[in-house]
Amino acid sequence: KMDRANVSRHLNNLSKAGKIIKLNGRPVLYTTIIKKNEENQIIAKDIESDNSTFKLEKSKDSLEKLVGAEMSLKMPIQQAKAAI
């Protein structure tokens, strides 16, 4: 029998690696990827066996969400990322 925390950790790692899709909510659901198309969309098979299409978007890190991240803070943010 596997511990729930271990299963959750493995599923989150697979989601971060892009092997499965995590659908946030209660309860959290996961689905497999069937294929990707040229418009950066994926065709996924969900729990009920219906095909669904999801658009993948590049997630922004917390530094990119700062006010001024594209203008006056652009260079300091790049320097901070390089230092990390």
Separation between Cα atoms, residue 13 and residue 8, nearest integer Å: 9
Higher pLDDT, 6 or 38: 6
Please give the Cα distance from 64 to 38 (Å, whole number). 26
| Of 26 and 48, more confident | 26
Q: pLDDT digit string (tens) for 30-69?
A: 877 766 666 656 656 554 444 455 555 555 667 777 777 7
- The parent domain of residue 42 ranges over 4-83
Domain count, the chain: 1
